[in-house]
Structure 1
Amino acid sequence: MAKPEFEFFPVTDIDYTICPGDNPAVTERILARDPEANVATRILRYEPGADSSPMGVQKHDFWEEVYILEGSFTDITLGETFTAGMYACRPPGMPHGPWRTDEGVVTFEVRYHSR
């Protein structure tokens, strides 16, 4: 199965839900999902003060592209802060995070498997 077909719609029609890891300060708005491949397109939101340290460094078996729409967050492992307008493209297995943010951050993410 692939991600479903959608024509334009307001993303505000989709509620934010708590991300895996159960931190209520880290939520996602799933825009499209392929449940069989376990990939999605989403908007990710970290509330001000959020910290994903309990989840540790992340690695995925899929590609992940991330564009920061608003705010900023810091990759604790790298000691680097990334801000609105910045972009990342992570191949499968690339370590990243954990993250923390003082002001909050909103990102747009696309996850997929190359075929």
Structure 2
Amino acid sequence: MAKPEYEFFPVTDVDFTICPGGDPKITERILADDPEGNVATRILRYEPGADSTPMGIQKHDFWEEVYILEGSFTDLSLNQTFTAGMYACRPPGMPHGPWRTDEGVVTFEARYRSKWDDA
């Protein structure tokens, strides 16, 4: 199954929901997803003071591209802070996080599988 087809629509029509892990300070607005493939396009929001340490280091079995729209957050494993205007492209299996933010952060993310991943 593929992500659904959508023409332009206001993303504010999609509510933020609490991300897996259950921290109410870490929410996502799923814009499009493929439930069978565990891939999505989303806006991720960490409120000020959010900390994903309980979720540990993340590794996915899909590609993930992230663009920071607003704010900043710190990768606690790398002890490095990333700010608005920065971009990451993570292949499957690349470790990242956990994350913490003092000011809050909003990112745009695209998750997908490559036709070459199983080759």
Structure 1 and Structure 2 fold alike (TM over 0.5): yes
Aligned ranges 1:1-115 → 2 under 5 Å: 1-115=1-115
What do you get for the CA RMSD once the two structures are aligned? Answer: 0.2
Distance 1:63 1:38 in 2: 11
How many residues get paired?
Answer: 115
Q: What's the TM-score, normalizing by structure 2?
A: 0.96
Identity %: 84
5+ unaligned residues in a row in structure 1: which ranges?
A: none
Cα-to-partner distance string for 1:80-115 (whole Å, 9 max, x where unaligned): 000000000000000000000000000000000001
Taking structure 1 as the reference length, the TM-score comes to 1.00
CA distances 1:1-34 after superposition (whole Å, capped 9, x unpaired)? 1000000000000000000000000000000000
CA distance in 2, matches of 1:38, 1:92: 13
Distance 2:38 2:90 in 1: 16
